[in-house]
Amino acid sequence: MTAAVEVRHIEIHGHRVGYRSGGTGPVLVLIHGMAGSSATWRLVMPALAERFTVIAPDLLGHGNSDKPRGDYSLGAFASGVRDLLLALGHDRATVVGHSFGGGVAMQFAYQFPERCERLVLVSSGGLGEEVNLLLRLLALPGSELILPLACNNWVHDLGVNVTGWLAHIGLHASPHLTEVWDGYGSLADGATRTAFIDTLRSVIDVTGQRVSAADRLYLAAETPTLIIWGDHDHIIPVDQGYATHAAIPASRLEIFEGSGHFPHCERPDRFSDVVSDFLQTTSASTKSASQ
């Protein structure tokens, strides 16, 4: 029987935080990417929850969480993940991060090594300069004036209706396109759009990714690390996955052939199996805060 996953809410430091949770066993935290939400993990959470306690937060500024004016840096998000874990009564977890969430996961491991048992990086940001041109353009000054014209409910709803019509005649949108379109649709909300711009500019400028963990990857040598990437990723190139695998001794690398930027949505069964096997065949890191 598939484990149930519920959408829940909790208040942390005066802010309402949404998250999905289910299952029992070792704790597994799933961190979504920029303009995403915990919903991106919907296809893998039930299977993972059969063996693990799975927690997928909506980061502040995203999904069902509050969208305050504030700090949208990697460090602030990592602290938010820690605060959620502690509020739910968990001291340690394996941390999985997709895209921007990979940067958050690495920052979590760096700031709170005593709380990070393992690290899973999925098409992760923060591992090289190259990134999709559109994201670089959106980081430019003035983009906040253009986005409201391009990202509105009318355009998004039209796309949803067209997608529904195509599905009715047997033509289904790819999981990759569905995730991109859902992220686009979230930007129709003004508060979400502002949080997106603040988050984007904290890690990307016109030249590409400006925050890199490359000089600190040696710190992950004692933390079991799994790297997952699609070989057709047109947002963050797979070359960065290969380079990260080479830079982290004893890390594991899983390339999903034919997949793009969302391997957990495009190949959910394989993703769940690979992550489950990784947790079951590795020992949790025992690093302390002083190491």
Q: Which residue of the set 21, 233, 245, 259 is catalytic?
A: 233
Residue that finishes a domain, picked among 150, 175, 202:
202
Instruction: Confirm whether 285 is domain-assigned.
Output: no
Q: Are residues 114 and 242 in the same domain?
A: yes
68 in any annotated domain: yes
* Domain presence at residue 286: no
| 12 & 108 share domain | yes
pTM of the predicted structure, to 2 decimals: 0.86
State pLDDT tens for residues 225-236: 999 999 999 999
Tens of pLDDT, residue by residue over 4-59, are 788 999 999 999 999 999 999 999 999 999 989 999 999 999 999 999 999 999 99
Tokens linked to 59:
């980061």
Domain match, 178 and 34 both: no
Q: Are residues 122 and 223 in the same domain?
A: yes
Catalytic pick among 99, 123, 124, 186: 99
> Same domain, yes or no, for 30 and 123?
yes
- Higher-confidence residue of 287 and 82: namely 82
Task: Answer yes or no: do 53 and 178 share one domain.
Answer: no
Residue 83, domain member (yes or no): yes
Q: Which helix H or strand E contains 84, and what residues bound it?
A: helix 74-87
Quote the number of domains for the chain: 2
Residues 120 and 37 in one domain: yes
Count of C-beta atoms within a 10 Å radius of residue 132? 16
Q: Last residue of some domain: 148, 167, 202?
A: 202
Q: Is residue 207 pLDDT above 50, yes or no?
A: yes
Q: Assess if residue 96 is contained within a domain.
A: yes
**Is the same domain home to 125 and 141?**
no
| % of the chain with per-residue pLDDT over 90 | 60
Q: DSSP state, 240?
A: H
What CATH number does residue 56 fall under? 3.40.50.1820
215 pLDDT higher than 50: yes
Structure tokens at 132: 């999709």
pLDDT band at 148; cut points 50, 70, 90 = low
Residue 78 belongs to a domain: yes
Same domain, 255 and 142: no
Q: Is 289 within a domain?
A: no
Catalytic residue among 261, 264, 272, 285: 261
Q: How many CB atoms lie within 10 A of CB 192?
A: 20
Do 63 and 172 have their domain in common? no
Name residues whose C-beta falls within 8 Å of residue 163's C-beta, 6 or more positions apart in sequence. 173, 178, 181
Q: Is residue 95 part of a domain?
A: yes
**210 alpha carbon, distance to own chain's centre:** 18
Assess whether 124 and 255 both reside in one domain: yes
Residues contacting residue 249 through CB under 8 Å, at least 6 positions apart: 221
Dihedral sign (CA 127, 133, 135, 140):
positive
Average pLDDT, the chain: 85
**CA atoms within 13 Å, Cβ hemisphere of 121:** 33
Please tell me whether residues 160 and 18 are part of one structural domain.
Answer: no
Question: Strands 27-31 and 53-57, how do they pair?
Answer: parallel
Is the pLDDT higher at 123 or at 185? 123
Catalytic, 99? Answer yes
- Residue-number span of the structural domain to which 155 is assigned: 134-202
Residues contacting 165, CB < 8 A, separation 6+: none
Show which of 174, 202, 230 is a domain's final residue. 202
Where does the pLDDT of residue 272 fall: very low under 50, low under 70, confident under 90, or very high at 90 and above?
very high
